[in-house]
Amino acid sequence: MKSFVYVLLCSFVLIGTMGCKGDGSSGLETGWYYIVDVEKENAEGTIAKKIFNSKDDKVYHLNPESIITVTNINKIEESVVFGDKKVIRMTFDDEGRQKWEDATAKYVQKYFGFILNNELLVIRRIATKSKAGAAAVNRPDYSEEELDQLLKEMQALLPKKEMPVEKK
């Protein structure tokens, strides 16, 4: 009987940790995800989220399978577009560039969501297939200080890549 209880307890612990990111927290890994249109598509298995730190109360349903994660991001930097509008720009590695191109081709006129620390940070409407291998995160409701803090948080999540050593 003791062994049965022990096995049962271990099973609950194992099931309770499924879906964890490896650091003990559960949820979605930082990256880009498809947003499911629940009026036109099956929402079963999706994850419902509101935009983090926003006055918008709309709930978005994300496909839990990522498009791009931080492992596919080479660089995250501040960029200025349309005169003085600041955005956070990320560029992808070759694998990420191909994933992004395929995903944007599949989801033209639909939406992607960017997850940071298991929070929906921004949604983006896909206007056309993109071969650029880059994406931007824009939060016009953020102050310059909040955007700088966000940039630092995102950069800290990038995997440390080894730099090639030049031989002399």
What are 108-149's pLDDT values in tens digits? 999 999 999 999 999 999 999 999 999 999 888 888 899 999
31-40, 75-84, 121-130: lowest mean pLDDT where? 75-84
**pLDDT at residue number 22:** 33
What are 48-60's pLDDT values in tens digits? 999 998 888 899 9
Which one of 4-13, 17-26, 43-52 scores highest in mean pLDDT?
Answer: 43-52
Using alpha carbons, list the distances in angstroms from residue 11 to 21, 28, 98, 160.
19, 23, 39, 35
Contacts of 39 (CB under 8 A, 6+ apart): none
Looking at residues 56-68, what average pLDDT do you find?
92
CB 112 within 8 A of CB 124: yes
Q: Report if pTM > 0.95.
A: no
CB 112 within 8 A of CB 103: yes
Looking at residues 10-22, what average pLDDT do you find?
31
In this structure, the dihedral spanned by the alpha carbons of residues 152, 102, 161 and 79, taken in order and rounded to 10 degrees, is -30
Give the Cα separation of 89 and 138 in Å (integer): 9
What integer best gives the mean pLDDT of the chain? Answer: 81
Looking at residues 55-84, what average pLDDT do you find?
89
5-14, 68-77, 93-102: lowest mean pLDDT where? 5-14
Tokens of 66: 């990522």
Domain architecture of the chain: domains with CATH? 29-156 (3.30.1360.200)
The more confident residue out of 76 and 15 is 76
Of the pLDDT bands very low, low, confident and very high (cuts 50, 70, 90), residue 83 is confident
